[in-house]
Amino acid sequence: INYYKVRGLDLTQILQQVQARKNVQVYNTGKQEHEVESHMDFKIIEKSHPALFRKEKTYLDFEIHNVDRAVGAIISNEISKIYGAQGLPENTLILNFTGSAGQSFGAFATKGLTMIVSGNTNDYLGKGLSGAKLVIKVPENSTIVPEENIITGNVTLYGATSGEVYINGKAGERFCVRNSGATAVVEGIGDHGCEYMTGGKVVILGTVGRNFGAGMSGGIAYVLDREGTFRNKCNGEGLNIDPVVETEDIAQLKSLVENHYNATLSPLAQRILEQWESYLPKFLKVLPEEYRLALLKLEQEKLVIQ
């Protein structure tokens, strides 16, 4: 190694040349075939020219399988290369998928994309979401009870910055971990929900696992606590947990539940809306204390300016 900081160092006592078995490669000796050219997004790009180049509303249907990973990432790159961070107008390109999507469905998906799965998705749904709308719902002919079944995997919306996600069923663990701006509605989650969340809005219409809100420093979560057990499952450190009583909060919560119903036709969302007055007292608002103080300070500054 020809670098001035290591001159004079003798590392022979801690470094050794390993003698590998015959035909065992210990460094890059050949070209790897990643088969990127067969990625589903290229099929999407081929059929989405009216949306990409003329901003025409376009509907496309595809079957999807669990080997189809990171669907939405490459088409989002194409959109961003043309239109930058502003993307396309909302719902310009609507993609309907049927089946079981692989990991990272909707990863980095940008504005203008609406991606709907009738089936289920794996881990990392909406990773790095950047403005798109994702809808995961049970198939029309399904006999399962959505709020009792997991329909997407772990680590949903990891590092998401904007966009919307509506999940007609339960999600796995670490839901919305490190979410910093996306909006999500789900019908139940596993452990460590909203971990390290810094922004965005979350509505949970079902059961919640343990250690909710660990390290949560921003954003708002509304949790339907029908069994009265949420406080015991919440991390609680630095969090305010209060009934939803403010007019603005009530309007925001109801609007998100309505959006969820409109996107998924969720029977649970329908019941909540039909019996709104009886369900509302069972909702709790989770707000980090430091975030609450920051919002309060911002509101006071606005009043001073006025």
Domain range for 287: 54-305
Answer whether residue 37 is part of any domain. no
> Which residues fall within 8 angstroms of residue 146, CB to CB, at 6 or more apart?
137, 138, 168, 169, 170, 187, 266, 267, 268
pLDDT at 23: 83
Answer whether residue 205 is part of any domain. yes
Here the CATH number for the domain that contains residue 274 is 2.160.20.60
Answer whether residue 21 is part of any domain. no
Answer whether residue 77 is part of any domain. yes
CA 205, CA 188: separation in Å to the nearest integer? 6
Place of tokens 């160092």: 9
Answer whether residue 188 is part of any domain. yes
Mean pLDDT by 10 residues, the chain (306 residues): 82 82 80 87 97 97 97 98 96 98 98 98 98 97 94 98 98 98 99 97 98 96 96 92 97 99 98 98 96 86 75
- Ramachandran region of residue 12, left (φ > 0), alpha (ψ -120 to 50) or beta? alpha
Answer whether residue 11 is part of any domain. no
Answer whether residue 151 is part of any domain. yes
Number of domains in the chain: 1
pLDDT at 84: 96
pLDDT at 306: 66
Answer whether residue 40 is part of any domain. no
Residues 74-86, buried b or exposed e (16+ Cβ, 10 A)? Answer: bbbebbbeebeee
